[in-house]
Chain A
Amino acid sequence: GAVVSQHPSWVICKSGTSVKIECRSLDFQATTMFWYRQFPKQSLMLMATSNEGSKATYEQGVEKDKFLINHASLTLSTLTVTSAHPEDSSFYICSASVASGRMGPYNEQFFGPGTRLTVL
């Protein structure tokens, strides 16, 4: 149980185009989903937190208009990289959590396999 999928697993696009990445919780309903970006030197950076049916909360320094996040249902969140540029090339990972704001192992985050984005 607690499987999270991402689609696509990798994508190559031209500079200036937009790319949409989907994150789905396959066997549970996720009240909260998180989007991370992983840089080549390993570090995982939280980009935004999204709760179903409400606007995403972006971390400081993350451009809301560039990284559009939609969490329309309890099993699906999407990240759209708008007007992508080569510096947006990265590994994007989503995670999903069952309970928001609770402390304890029950709000564990389950991670998707990641999406490798390459912008030419």
Chain B
Amino acid sequence: GEDVEQSLFLSVREGDSSVINCTYTDSSSTYLYWYKQEPGAGLQLLTYIFSNMDMKQDQRLTVLLNKKDKHLSLRIADTQTGDSAIYFCAVPLSSASKIIFGSGTRLSIRP
């Protein structure tokens, strides 16, 4: 079945860039998601990228997609304390309406 993997933790200094990486196995997904979960809350869609794109930029967020390596990354520029959260990479299954989530990366910001 589909497997989505992420590292569990990332710590960055305030003002630096954060890069969260994700690898997946289902290459037929037409798009891929990044979700953000703040403490004690549900998930919010942060951004998504179509599989025919290599890059998508939205203000401080940059998503890079390497389809050959099945690698997705999320870069947050000028990381702020409000960016502290768990970030989930998510891949819809092409065969169903389900979304498969990675384990989530907990981003912590240090002063």
Contacts and interface: CB of A to CB of B under 8 A. Distances in A.
B8 A42 contact: yes
Of A41, A46, A49, A109, most B-chain CB atoms within 10 Å: A109
Contacts of A44: 43, 88, 101, 104
A110 B45 CA distance: 8
Contacts of B97: 32, 49, 97, 100-102, 107
Contacts of B40: 114, 116
Nearest to B29: A103
Contacts of B33: 108
Contacts of A61: none
Interface in A47-66: 49
Interface SS majority for chain B:
strand
A36 to B, nearest CB: 8
B104 A103 contact: no
B92 A42 contact: no
A86 B40 CA distance: 20
B99 to A, nearest CB: 6
A66 B94 CA distance: 29
A103 B44 CA distance: 19
A43 B104 contact: yes
A77 B101 CA distance: 21
A87 B10 CA distance: 29
A8 B88 CA distance: 24
Contacts of B88: 44
Nearest to B94: A103
Nearest to B88: A44
Contact of A42 (B31, B96, B103): B103
Interface string B38-57: 00111111001000000000
Nearest to A109: B99
Contacts of A34: 98-99
A93 interface: yes
